């Protein structure tokens, strides 16, 4: 088992999927469908499920204030069907990739897509609702859309694993965010702004974690809390070993290498332009 390799793979998948939430092209596509505000994120990510209710999104996305989810899922399917939203999402992703990585070689796209599909075929999807829903999306004939959607399946597979680890830790949604903020990797303000938990709910989470001896009153880690959070991450990495096993160590390294130019192009090309807004 090589947890460091599964961690590297996870980081690569997260970035080469996650730009879709921040790229201007996606905002334009969703606006054109009549979606607005939080509908952009919730409806586009939930589209593979079909016309689901907010409660499904609350359960599977895990760490958002339920009231915010309800706001985002109140009426999106009145504006556009899930299939239309999904098509717009994939098209926007391909548009971003073609803009940011214009010299992406067709052979590299094909090879990365083939390795991603081989990995998908080697995985089990029990207990992986977001990954399974994305796997069921009809495949696009556009090679860039196809690659991005396969990357999305893998990214959501790891995400589903991480949610299962958080639930079994156990931590609830707001506690998970507080622990994330304590790492210093993402500012507390950014997590509060994007997940919309009230100051009262956040403080209740802090009080709970203080009572468990995991954070101090200033929301920094205690020694036990640092170990606790590290164990969540290491357990996630270990539980994602089937991803590597599906294609082997060498081909996993190869997939990461093929995606490196994509990552660099996205970072340099402004694909994350709306991050933090």
**DSSP-assigned letters across all residues of 71-115:** HHTSSHHHHS-HHHHHHHHHHHHHHHHHHH-TT--HHHHHHHHHH
**Cβ count within 10 A of residue 95:** 18
Counting as low any pLDDT under 70, the low residues of the chain are 274-277
Per-domain residue ranges for the chain?
Answer: 3-268
Report pLDDT for 138.
97
pTM of the shown model:
0.96
């Amino acid at each position: 088992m090589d947890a460091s390799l599964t961690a590297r793979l996870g980081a690569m998948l997260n970035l080469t999927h996650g730009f879709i939430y921040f790229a201007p092209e996606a905002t334009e596509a969703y606006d054109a469908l009549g979606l607005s505000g939080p509908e952009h994120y919730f409806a586009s990510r939930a589209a593979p499920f079909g016309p689901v209710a907010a409660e499904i999104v609350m359960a599977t996305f895990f760490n958002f204030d339920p009231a915010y989810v309800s706001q985002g899922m109140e009426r999106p399917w009145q504006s556009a069907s899930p299939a239309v939203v999904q098509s717009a999402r994939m098209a926007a992703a391909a548009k971003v990739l073609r803009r940011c990585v214009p010299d992406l070689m067709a052979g590299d796209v094909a090879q990365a897509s083939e390795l991603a599909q081989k990995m998908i075929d080697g995985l089990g999807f029990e207990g992986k609702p977001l990954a399974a829903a994305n796997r069921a999306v009809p495949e696009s004939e556009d090679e860039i859309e196809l690659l991005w959607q396969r990357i999305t399946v893998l990214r959501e597979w790891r995400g589903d694993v991480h949610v299962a680890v958080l639930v079994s830790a156990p931590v609830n949604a707001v506690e998970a965010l507080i622990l994330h903020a304590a790492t210093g990797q993402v500012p507390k303000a950014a997590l509060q702004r994007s997940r919309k938990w009230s100051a009262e709910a956040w403080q209740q989470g802090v009080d709970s974690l203080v009572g468990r001896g995991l954070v101090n009153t200033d929301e920094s880690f205690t020694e036990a809390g640092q170990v606790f959070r590290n164990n969540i991450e290491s357990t996630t990495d270990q539980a994602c070993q089937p991803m590597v096993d599906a294609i082997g160590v060498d081909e996993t390294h190869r997939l990461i290498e093929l995606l490196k130019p994509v990552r660099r192009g996205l970072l340099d090309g402004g694909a994350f332009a709306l991050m933090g807004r």
